[in-house]
Chain A
Amino acid sequence: MIDFTSAQIDFSLIAPEISLLVAAFIILLGSSFKKPAQAAPIIALLGIAVSISFISNQWHHQVSGFYGMVTCDNFGVTFKLLFSIIAMLGVLIAQKYLQVKNINKPEYYALLLISTMGMMVMANTTDLVVIFLGLEIMSVPLYVLAGFARRSLESNEAGIKYFIMGAFASAFLLMGIAFIFGASETTDLRRIVADFSFNLSQSRTLLLSGIGFILIGFAFKVGAAPFHSWVPDVYQGAPTPVTAFFSVGPKAAGFAALLRIFSYGFDEVELLTNLFWGLAVLTMIVGNVLALKQTNIKRILAYSSIAHAGYIFVALTVGGSNAISSAIFYLIAYTLFNVGGFAIVTIMETRSNAKPELKELNGMAKAHPYLAAVLALFVFALSGFPPTVGFIGKFYIFSEAVKHGFIWLTVIGVLNSFASVYYYFKIIKAAYFENTDAEFKRFDLNLSMIVLFIICAVGTLGIGLFPQEIINISKSAIFAFL
């Protein structure tokens, strides 16, 4: 058992966060030199590498420190590793795009690292207030990143919309934390959980409304219906590498916090299961139905990311340790193929100023056979076909749902998954079967993009074929949870 209020000040607990922050500050300081943007991605990658080496030392160390404010457990470590990979992909995807769009500023990398650090803070604690602080450290740089193309009106608009929605959600979350603090006299989840049933009988209204507020706040953050209205706009307006980053990063961080708070803490409230059931169904249906009519690939991927959040909510509804590990597995899988999908959009946009419409893909199969195959792989994974990792992830979640008797939820989920095939295959149709002789302006690939495609494609296919290792990791992630 972990000592709740261990006063131990152990900096190895927060070493990954510190190394990211140091790298970010070096980049910011270095921006006063000539041609700073060339060194920045290298420094960023180095910082992430150092961070990963610190994280791998924390595996299987159950330690709490800083008066219980920081807790290292396998759950946090798994998510921190995922965030580092996301940050790495975010650095790789951006280079060419930033040059072409004339926004090649070192601040991009610094903000990316600080935001990643915020996600790590979120995953690395059991204290609600520290979760809130981590969320803000994550979000504030993201607002700037969404509006990073300062001259582009769309980007400005996306930044402002994201900012307003994010701040609004934070206020809800904070109100919820304040209510829970009032009801249980502490903000540490472990102590809240320990006295939960007693507090529930004492101050039921306060506790339940607190939980409700927290749920609303996080539903906004992860883009679950009915709080999803900002998602497609912001995803479309923001620079594409940024979109790729925040379609996976904040989503994983939000679900890390949701899993931590709800699957462990408050699973005694029966009402919550019904609430999550509704959220899951609504999110899946809204995401998939609204995606059907889109022709802009960025918007298709935005709606599909809403639908994917719905699938993860299925795991949250089910609850229990296996369902949590299935959610973790799905988040890892989703990161790989979703960033891959956005990377294709990114190279489409670096080629010309054209919007990433479906018809821009016509003739791709002939001009770039390998890249078209990679695109097809990501689309198969998004729609959940074997042998990709998308299939394994969905199968894992839905089989857990069936085991716990959520038959209707599973049926709705699987039907949604079938419906999504329609709009995903519009992408494949555009690339392979429509106007195959169309004039195709060739893509201009650079080294970092090739590395990114190799990582994403090998991950999508490799984990799909040999999932056991990652499943084991996601199973041991909840070993001695909290």
Chain B
Amino acid sequence: MELSITAYIIVAVVLFAIGTIGVLISRNIIMLFMSVELMLNAANLVLIAFSLKLNIMDGHAFVFLILTVAAAEAAVGLGMVINLYRNRETINIDRFNLLKW
């Protein structure tokens, strides 16, 4: 059965919304990272779906670029979390109140 483009978009928007809510309400930095990754992957899904529908390869190529960017971001972010954990021994963002958030 052929799925219409709308189905893909709806799934992607739902994923994006879950990611956004996750960023806004979760208190653990690792959870925050995963939520942001979910948002990026929602955008990837939209790109691939449109690429498929319009029958052009651009979207597929961009997804590879975006995956690379996401990997670089995650590497830097996790490095910073490790450093933070060494100094503070917590990764709960409620405890980061040195600067008025």
Chain A interface secondary structure, helix, strand, loop or mixed?
A: helix
Chain B interface secondary structure, helix, strand, loop or mixed?
A: helix
Closest-CB distance, B74 to chain A (whole angstroms) = 9
Among A147, A153, A167, A237, find the residue whose CB has the most chain B CB atoms closer than 10 A: A167
Closest-CB distance, A213 to chain B (whole angstroms) = 9
**Chain A residues near B16 (CB-CB < 8 A):** 171, 175
What are 6 A-to-B residue pairs whose CB atoms are below 8 Å?
A140-B73, A157-B96, A170-B40, A181-B59, A182-B9, A236-B99
A151 at the interface (CB under 8 A from B): yes
**Chain A residues near B59 (CB-CB < 8 A):** 178, 181
Could you tell me if B58 and A157 are in contact, using CB atoms closer than 8 angstroms?
no
Pick the 7 closest A-B CB pairs, nearest first: A171-B39, A182-B50, A178-B46, A233-B99, A174-B43, A167-B36, A175-B43
Could you tell me if A136 and B84 are in contact, using CB atoms closer than 8 angstroms?
no
A228 at the interface (CB under 8 A from B): no
Closest-CB distance, B50 to chain A (whole angstroms) = 4
Could you tell me if A136 and B98 are in contact, using CB atoms closer than 8 angstroms?
no
CA distance A144 to B76 in the complex (A): 7
**Chain A residues near B39 (CB-CB < 8 A):** 168, 171-172, 175
Q: A159-B80, A182-B53 are in contact. List 16 more A-B contacts (CB 8 A).
A: A133-B65, A136-B69, A140-B73, A140-B76, A143-B80, A153-B88, A156-B80, A160-B29, A160-B93, A161-B99, A164-B23, A167-B33, A170-B73, A172-B39, A178-B46, A186-B58
Q: Which single residue of chain A is at the shortest CB-CB distance from B85?
A: A156
A116 at the interface (CB under 8 A from B): no
**Chain A residues near B73 (CB-CB < 8 A):** 136, 140, 163, 167, 170
Q: Which single residue of chain B is at the shortest CB-CB distance from A229?
A: B101
CA distance A161 to B47 in the complex (A): 28
**B residues 68-101 touching A (CB-CB < 8 Å):** 69, 72-73, 76-77, 80-81, 83-84, 87-88, 93, 96, 98-101
**Chain B residues near A331 (CB-CB < 8 A):** none
Closest-CB distance, A130 to chain B (whole angstroms) = 9
Closest-CB distance, A220 to chain B (whole angstroms) = 12
A157 and B99 contact, Cβ closer than 8 Å, known pairs A164-B36, A175-B43: yes
CA distance A105 to B94 in the complex (A): 31
**A residues 400-427 touching B (CB-CB < 8 Å):** none
**Chain B residues near A136 (CB-CB < 8 A):** 69, 72-73
Could you tell me if A150 and B83 are in contact, using CB atoms closer than 8 angstroms?
yes
**Chain A residues near B93 (CB-CB < 8 A):** 160
Could you tell me if A161 and B77 are in contact, using CB atoms closer than 8 angstroms?
no
CA distance A140 to B88 in the complex (A): 23
Could you tell me if A185 and B56 are in contact, using CB atoms closer than 8 angstroms?
yes
Q: Which single residue of chain A is at the shortest CB-CB distance from B77?
A: A163
Instruction: Classify chain A's interface size.
Output: 35 or more
| Contact digits for B1-42, partner A, Cβ 8 Å, 1 yes 0 no | 000010001000000100100010000010011001001101
Could you tell me if A143 and B47 are in contact, using CB atoms closer than 8 angstroms?
no
Could you tell me if B87 and A156 are in contact, using CB atoms closer than 8 angstroms?
yes
Q: Which single residue of chain A is at the shortest CB-CB distance from B84?
A: A156
Could you tell me if A144 and B80 are in contact, using CB atoms closer than 8 angstroms?
yes
| Contact digits for A180-198, partner B, Cβ 8 Å, 1 yes 0 no | 0110011100000000000
Could you tell me if B99 and A147 are in contact, using CB atoms closer than 8 angstroms?
no
Could you tell me if A143 and B87 are in contact, using CB atoms closer than 8 angstroms?
no
A232 and B100 contact, Cβ closer than 8 Å, known pairs A163-B76, A181-B50: yes
**Chain A residues near B33 (CB-CB < 8 A):** 167
**Chain B residues near A246 (CB-CB < 8 A):** none
Closest-CB distance, A133 to chain B (whole angstroms) = 6
**Chain B residues near A187 (CB-CB < 8 A):** 58, 62
A171 and B72 contact, Cβ closer than 8 Å, known pairs A129-B62, A185-B54: no
Among A159, A172, A175, find the residue whose CB has the most chain B CB atoms closer than 10 A: A175
Q: Which single residue of chain B is at the shortest CB-CB distance from A164?
A: B32
CA distance A229 to B23 in the complex (A): 15
Q: Which single residue of chain A is at the shortest CB-CB distance from B16?
A: A175
A218 at the interface (CB under 8 A from B): no
CA distance A140 to B78 in the complex (A): 12
- Which of A163, A172, A174, A237 meets B80, CB within 8 Å? A163
- Which of B5, B76, B99 meets A143, CB within 8 Å? B76
A175 and B42 contact, Cβ closer than 8 Å, known pairs A136-B69, A164-B23: yes
Could you tell me if B76 and A156 are in contact, using CB atoms closer than 8 angstroms?
no
**Chain B residues near A163 (CB-CB < 8 A):** 73, 76-77, 80
**Chain A residues near B84 (CB-CB < 8 A):** 156-157, 160
A233 and B101 contact, Cβ closer than 8 Å, known pairs A159-B80, A167-B77, A168-B23: yes
Could you tell me if A182 and B101 are in contact, using CB atoms closer than 8 angstroms?
no
**Chain A residues near B62 (CB-CB < 8 A):** 129, 181, 187
A179 at the interface (CB under 8 A from B): yes
